[in-house]
Amino acid sequence: ENPACVCHSGYVGTRCEHADLLAVVAATQKKQTITALLVVAVVASALLVTVCVLV
């Protein structure tokens, strides 16, 4: 039996009527991790450029 619809992230069930809070939390944590890594990379790059200019 094929599902009636394709569920968005965080929803499950034959008609996507049930919320899957664990999936929502996992997606949010993944986005926060990626954002934190990007911020660290930008700050590290700025510090490196500053050190290179001053030296």
For the chain (55 residues), the mean pLDDT of every run of 10, in chain order, is 72 82 77 92 96 90
Assess if residue 8 is contained within a domain: no
pLDDT at position 37 is 95
What do you get for the CA distance between the two ends of the chain, in Å?
68
pLDDT at position 19 is 82
pLDDT at position 49 is 95
pLDDT at position 30 is 83
Assess if residue 6 is contained within a domain: no
Assess if residue 16 is contained within a domain: no
The domain in which residue 44 lies consists of 22-54
Assess if residue 32 is contained within a domain: yes
Total number of domains constituting the chain: 1
Assess if residue 50 is contained within a domain: yes
User: Given its phi and psi angles, is residue 2 left (phi above 0), alpha (psi -120 to 50 degrees) or beta?
Assistant: beta
* Cβ 54 vs Cβ 36: under 8 Å: no
pTM higher than 0.75, yes or no? Answer: no
pLDDT at position 11 is 82
Assess if residue 40 is contained within a domain: yes
How far apart CA 54 and CA 18 sit, in angstroms, is 57
Assess if residue 26 is contained within a domain: yes
* Cβ 28 vs Cβ 45: under 8 Å: no
